[in-house]
Amino acid sequence: MSANHTHMHPSTKNERALRWALALTGSFLIAEVVGGVLTGSLALISDAAHMLTDAGALAIALAAIRIARRPVDGRRTFGYHRFEILAAAFNALLLFAVALYILVEAYRRFTSPPEIHSLGMLVVASIGLVVNLISIRLLSGGQGESLNMKGAYLEVWSDLLGSVGVIAGALAIQLTGWSWVDPLIAVAIGLWVLPRTWILLKDSLNILLEGVPDGIELGAVEQAMLAVPGVLGIHDLHLWALTTGKTNLTAHVIYDPAYAREEALIPTLRALLADRFKVVHMTLQCEITPCARPAEACAYVGTSSAQRDTPDFH
C-alpha cells in the first residue's frame, strides 16, 4: 500500500484577532438583547439573533484552532478537527429556532404593534455598527488564509448590513411614527438569516455524512488520475472532508508496470491531487490487477501483488 499523510495543523496567528472579535460581538449581543427589550424593538432582537450567528461562527473558528491542536491518539486517529462541524450543526439548529420565534413574534406585532422607542433603538444599532466595523478590521488580515477565518469574516460583514437596516428602521420610525416598520425589518433580517443557516446546516451534514466536498466533482478527480501515463484504472475511489478545507482521498490505482514504476507514479498522483483538487491527506494503493474481493472488502484489504508501504510525508 502506498500512502501519503499530510497532517495539517491550524494556524494560531489569527487566534488573538478571533478572541477580540468574539469578545466584542458577544458583549454587544447581550447589550442588543437588553436594548431590544427596553425599547420594544423586535428589529433589535432580530439583529441580535443575527449577531448570534456571528458569535457562533467566531467561537467555532476559535475552538477549531485550539481543539485541533490536540494530538491524535489511539481512539481519534484523525484528531479533533471535526469538532468544528459538530458545533456548526448545533449552531444552525439553534438559529432555526431563533428565526422561527422572530417570524412568529413579528406576525403578532403586525396585528398589534407596540410602542417603539426609536431613539434608543437608533443608539443601540449605531453602537452595533461600530462593533461590526472593528470586528471586520480585526478579521480582514486573516480571511484569505483559511475557510474558518473567511466564514467568520463574512458572518460579521453580513451583520454589519443588518445593523444598517436597523438604523434605517429607527430613523423611519422617528420621522414617520410608523411602528410597523420595526417588525418589517425584523422579518427581513430573519429571512436573511434563514438561507445562511440552511447552507451552514447543509454543509455540516454533508461533511458529517462524509459526502464529496462542495466544489469537487468525483468524476473529474477520477478522469484526472486516469490521464496520468501508466494508470490503467481507478476503483474504490472515496473522497470526503474531515472538516472545512481538509479533503481526504483513498483509491486503488491499477497501473502498467511496463509503462510506469510505482515509485514514480505515487509522487505524480500525489502532486496532481494536491495542486488541482487541494487534497491534504491521501492513501493510494497500487495494483497490477484489480482486487479479486468484493468492493466492500477491497476497501479495507488489498490483494495486489505489487504492494509497498511508503513513509509518511509531512
- Domain extent, residue 240, equals 218-298
What's the count of helices (H) and strands (E) in the chain, helices before strands? 9, 4
- pLDDT attached to residue 225: 94
- Residues 62, 193, single domain; the answer is yes
- Residues 247, 281, single domain; the answer is yes
On whether residue 310 sits in a domain, the answer given is: no
- Residues 181, 222, single domain; the answer is no
C-alpha count within 13 angstroms, C-beta hemisphere, residue 3: 10
- Residues 184, 253, single domain; the answer is no
Region of 256 on the Ramachandran plot (φ > 0 left; ψ -120 to 50 alpha; else beta): beta
Sign of CA dihedral 130, 132, 134, 136: negative
Q: Considering its fold, how many domains does the chain have in total?
A: 2
- Residues 38, 120, single domain; the answer is yes
- Residues 204, 222, single domain; the answer is no
Residues 196-241: pLDDT tens digits? 778 878 888 898 899 999 889 999 999 999 999 999 999 999 999 8
The residues near 124 (Cβ < 8 Å, ≥ 6 apart) are: 31, 32, 35, 36, 39, 44
Residues 159-174: pLDDT tens digits? 777 777 778 888 888 8
On whether residue 3 sits in a domain, the answer given is: no
Q: What is the DSSP letter of 265?
A: H
- Residues 193, 225, single domain; the answer is no
Contact by Cβ (8 Å): 133, 55: no
On whether residue 311 sits in a domain, the answer given is: no
- Residues 70, 110, single domain; the answer is yes
- pLDDT attached to residue 177: 79
CATH of residue 90: 1.20.1510.10
User: pTM for this one?
Assistant: 0.68
